[in-house]
Amino acid sequence: MGFNYDVIVIGGGHNGVVASTVLSLHGLRVLLVDQNYSLGGLAGARTIAGVFSSRFAYVIGLVPRELNEWLRILPEMYYPEPNWVELNENDEIVFRWWSDETRLVSEFKEHGIDIADLFRDLRRFWKCYKEYGLYYTPIAPSREEAVQILDKCRVSYLVAKTAREILSDYMPRSYWDYFIYPSMLDASGFVLAYYMQNNNVWGQPKYSMLSFSRILRQRLGENGTSMLLGTRVEEFLFEEGVVRGIKTADGTTIHGRAVLFAAPITSLLDIGGYERLEEWEIRSIGDAKNSTTLRSRVKRIDYAFSEKPSPPREPGWRGTPVYVKWSSSYGGEYTYIEPVRDTYLVQFSGFAEDVFEVLPPGSNEKALKTYDVRDARNQVVCCRNYTGHPDHLPMIDKYLFDKRPVPGWNDYRTSIPCLYHGSASSYPGGEINGVAGLNAAIRILLDFGIEPRLPGLVRVLCEKGSRSKWSVHC
Ligand X SMILES: Cc1cc2nc3c(=O)[nH]c(=O)nc-3n(C[C@H](O)[C@H](O)[C@H](O)COP(=O)(O)OP(=O)(O)OC[C@H]3O[C@@H](n4cnc5c(N)ncnc54)[C@H](O)[C@@H]3O)c2cc1C
Residue 248 beta carbon to ligand X: minimum distance, rounded to whole angstroms = 8
Helix 14-25 vs helix 435-447: crossing angle, to nearest 10: 40
Options 20, 24, 35, 156; binder of ligand X; rule CB under 6 A: 35
Taking CB under 6 A as the binding criterion, the range among 9-17, 108-116, 272-280, 313-321 that sits at the site for ligand X is: 9-17
Q: Is residue 437 within 8 Å of 422, Cβ to Cβ?
A: yes
62 near ligand X, judged by CB under 6 A:
yes
Q: Pairing state of beta strands 344-351 and 331-336?
A: antiparallel
Residue 56 beta carbon to ligand X: minimum distance, rounded to whole angstroms = 4
Taking CB under 6 A as the binding criterion, the range among 33-41, 71-79, 177-185, 458-466 that sits at the site for ligand X is: 33-41
Can you tell me the distance from the alpha carbon of 7 to that of 244, in angstroms, rounded to the nearest whole number?
9
Residue 335 beta carbon to ligand X: minimum distance, rounded to whole angstroms = 9
Q: Is residue 294 within 8 Å of 288, Cβ to Cβ?
A: yes
Cis peptide before 417 (omega within 30 of 0): no
Q: Is residue 231 within 8 Å of 248, Cβ to Cβ?
A: yes
Give the x-and-dash track for 339-378 against ligand X (CB under 6 A). Answer: ----------x-----------------------------
Query: Of 108 and 195, which CB lies nearer to ligand X in the complex structure?
Result: 195
150 near ligand X, judged by CB under 6 A:
no
390 near ligand X, judged by CB under 6 A:
yes
Q: Is residue 189 within 8 Å of 165, Cβ to Cβ?
A: yes
Can you tell me the distance from the alpha carbon of 197 to that of 145, in angstroms, rounded to the nearest whole number?
20
Residue 156 beta carbon to ligand X: minimum distance, rounded to whole angstroms = 27
Can you tell me the distance from the alpha carbon of 302 to that of 323, in angstroms, rounded to the nearest whole number?
14
Q: Is residue 62 within 8 Å of 436, Cβ to Cβ?
A: no
Beta-carbon contacts of 21 under 8 Å, excluding residues fewer than 6 positions away, are 71, 219, 220, 223, 225
Give the x-and-dash track for 246-265 against ligand X (CB under 6 A). Answer: ----------------xxx-
Q: Is residue 334 within 8 Å of 360, Cβ to Cβ?
A: yes
Taking CB under 6 A as the binding criterion, the range among 36-44, 175-183, 191-199, 459-467 that sits at the site for ligand X is: 36-44
Query: Of 16 and 75, which CB lies nearer to ligand X in the complex structure?
Result: 16
Residue 203 beta carbon to ligand X: minimum distance, rounded to whole angstroms = 10
Could you tell me how many residues of this chain bind ligand X (CB under 6 A)?
Answer: 42
Instruction: For the beta carbon of residue 382, count every other beta carbon within 10 angstroms.
Output: 18
33 near ligand X, judged by CB under 6 A:
yes
Residue 13 beta carbon to ligand X: minimum distance, rounded to whole angstroms = 2
Query: Of 383 and 445, which CB lies nearer to ligand X in the complex structure?
Result: 383
60 near ligand X, judged by CB under 6 A:
yes
124 near ligand X, judged by CB under 6 A:
no
Residue 436 beta carbon to ligand X: minimum distance, rounded to whole angstroms = 6
CA neighbor of 35 nearest in space, from 231, 258, 273: 231
Residues 196-235 that bind ligand X (CB under 6 A): 232-233
Query: Of 59 and 118, which CB lies nearer to ligand X in the complex structure?
Result: 59
Can you tell me the distance from the alpha carbon of 62 to that of 59, in angstroms, rounded to the nearest whole number?
10
Three-state DSSP at 246 gives: strand
Taking CB under 6 A as the binding criterion, the range among 59-67, 149-157, 170-178, 465-473 that sits at the site for ligand X is: 59-67
Taking CB under 6 A as the binding criterion, the range among 52-60, 125-133, 157-165, 439-447 that sits at the site for ligand X is: 52-60
Options 383, 406, 419, 461; binder of ligand X; rule CB under 6 A: 383
Can you tell me the distance from the alpha carbon of 127 to that of 132, in angstroms, rounded to the nearest whole number?
9
Backbone angles phi, psi at 139, to 5 degrees: -135, 115
Sign of CA dihedral 248, 286, 413, 25: positive
Options 5, 7, 8, 13; binder of ligand X; rule CB under 6 A: 13
Residue 307 beta carbon to ligand X: minimum distance, rounded to whole angstroms = 26
Q: Is residue 395 within 8 Å of 194, Cβ to Cβ?
A: yes
301 near ligand X, judged by CB under 6 A:
no
Tell me the HSE value of 472 on the side-chain side, using a 13 A CA sphere: 18
Residues that bind ligand X (CB under 6 A): 10-16, 33-36, 41-43, 56-60, 62, 232-233, 262-264, 267, 270-271, 298, 300, 349, 379, 383-385, 390-391, 423-424, 430-432
